Structure 1
Amino acid sequence: MLLFLKSSSRTVHHYPDQESGIEINNFSTDDIDHQRCCTSLTVWSKSLVFGCNGFTVIGSDGSLAYRVDNYSDNPNQIVLMDGSGNPIFTICRRKKLRLIDDNWLVYNGEVGKYCDKSSRKPIFCVKKNANILKTKKLSAIAYVYNDGISTASSKRCAYMIEGSYKHRSCQILDETGQVVAEIKRKQASTGGVSFGLEVFVLVVNAVFDPGFAMAFVLLLDQMFH
């Protein structure tokens, strides 16, 4: 049980502000599990606040790294906070006339109750890959586009997510095809006992922002919950 958590004494999240833009870093690694180049987070799909839906994310040192406490009755808007409760990202679902055209917008910080009325510009737009044919071939399950744009003319995406969130087995790839983060099932250190789907591991490469990787987890949970 996660009853006693120590707050992180340092800022876990580092991210440029809205005006400075976003820099996508490329890297080369043979093993994303290598401890010297990665951050490993334990994600628990429960809020520590009674009566709230959300997530609790624990760092490798046992500190509370990130949290989501959804008090509102709006499931289409989620605020990701650091361990101290400071907002990092707001994720909003934007519905269109057709279900397959649904996409999600990611904003820096907190944008208020109504994302569609905000004067802020989203930093990313995420689209679910509508696999109508239900093919068994491994393909992308979601695409991430820069600057909140996902049109027919913007064929080049910044990130792509492959695998199966339902089975907690996903890889996040940058535009060069390199893995920047990975979602895995969590197992006990001895005996190989699984913790189920509510507790899993998010492994993040050193050059990628763990906070943004956690935002991807929230997006996938919205898409495939």
Structure 2
Amino acid sequence: MLRFLKSLSGTVHEERCQPSNGGDGATHCGDDDGGGGGGPRSLTVWRKSLFVGCSGFTVINSDGNLVYRVDNYGGRRRQELVLMDASGIPILTVARSKKLKMVDDWLVFKGEISSNKQKPICCARKHLDILRPKVKRLARVYRDPYDESNGYVIEGSYMNRSCKVLDESRNVVAEIRRKETAMEGVSFGQEVFVLIVNQGFDSGFAMAIVLLLDQMFL
């Protein structure tokens, strides 16, 4: 399976750096992992675990090296998802809040949850507006103190693998895009896509946002 993912590096179009449509003046590149150049980092995300009998995610960089993984044993949706590095060390945990609310909250913890007293580093809430059902906002991620001016907003469509993560200044810090192929008429579908992380934004946290969206919308 990992060999399949590595082969994707040679089957995509070369994507040149181009300005974002978000009006922030930032540039977004294709298969550049940002290693050493300080530019945007492009990761290929496969919505599948490398292990038999598991669901999850496998994430590689533009060199075909494993960067992150999520292995959900039993193949079922869980209340907690642990994002690990290539060696299996937990980086972040995404968990659904246990509080009963009309709109569910998701919490992000550093590493693996060790106790009920562990405090999350941020929380996320799915956007729900019955008066404006076509609004493009998907969710908001709140940092401490969890107010409107301190966090990130996600806009676009996760189902179509076309999303942008914007900070409080409306700067695009990360994007989710479809994986394009060099062969006409060939598509990777929705299971393989690209996560572009702009300079200064943590790629592990960007992947945690992918997990949040997957829990919210699939």
Alignment TM-score > 0.5, same fold = yes
Structure 1 residue 5: Cα displacement: 7.6
CA distance in 2, matches of 1:96, 1:133: 25
Structure 1 residue 170: Cα displacement: 0.3
The answer to whether residue 6 in structure 2 is matched with residue 3 in structure 1 is no
Alignment partner, residue 30 of structure 1 = 26
For residue 27 of structure 2, give the secondary structure of its aligned residue in structure 1: coil
Q: In the alignment, which of 123, 126, 138 is matched to residue 124 of structure 2?
A: 126
CA distance in 2, matches of 1:29, 1:197: 28
Unaligned runs of 5+ in 2: 7-23
Unaligned runs of 5+ in 1: 7-27
Q: In the alignment, which of 162, 170, 186 is matched to residue 193 of structure 1?
A: 186
CA distance in 2, matches of 1:74, 1:196: 21
The answer to whether residue 87 in structure 2 is matched with residue 84 in structure 1 is yes
Contact 1:169–1:185 under 8 Å retained in 2 = yes
CA distances 1:81-137 after superposition (whole Å, capped 9, x unpaired): 01111100011101433342x10110100114xxxx522211001111113235324
CA distance in 2, matches of 1:186, 1:216: 18
Contact 1:143–1:157 under 8 Å retained in 2 = no
- 1:130 partner amino acid: L
Contact 1:124–1:146 under 8 Å retained in 2 = yes
Q: Matches of residues 144-163 of structure 1 in structure 2 within 5 Å? A: 144-147=141-144, 150=146, 154-163=147-156
Alignment partner, residue 169 of structure 2 = 176
> Cα gap change, 1:171/1:5 in structure 2, threshold over 3 Å: closer, same or farther?
closer
Instruction: Provide the TM-score with structure 1 as the length reference.
Output: 0.79
For residue 211 of structure 2, give the secondary structure of its aligned residue in structure 1: helix
Alignment partner, residue 109 of structure 1 = 111
Alignment partner, residue 217 of structure 1 = 210
> Cα gap change, 1:96/1:59 in structure 2, threshold over 3 Å: closer, same or farther?
same
CA distances 1:179-216 after superposition (whole Å, capped 9, x unpaired): 00000010112426321000000000021111110000
- 2:29 partner amino acid: D
Alignment partner, residue 141 of structure 1 = 138
> Cα gap change, 1:146/1:137 in structure 2, threshold over 3 Å: closer, same or farther?
closer
- Of 91-100 and 41-50, the range deviating more from structure 2: 91-100
CA distance in 2, matches of 1:97, 1:105: 14
CA distances 1:164-188 after superposition (whole Å, capped 9, x unpaired): 1011000001111100000001011
For residue 223 of structure 1, give the secondary structure of its aligned residue in structure 2: helix
Contact 1:5–1:63 under 8 Å retained in 2 = no
Identity of aligned pairs, percent? 55
Instruction: Provide the TM-score with structure 2 as the length reference.
Output: 0.81
Contact 2:26–2:172 under 8 Å retained in 1 = no
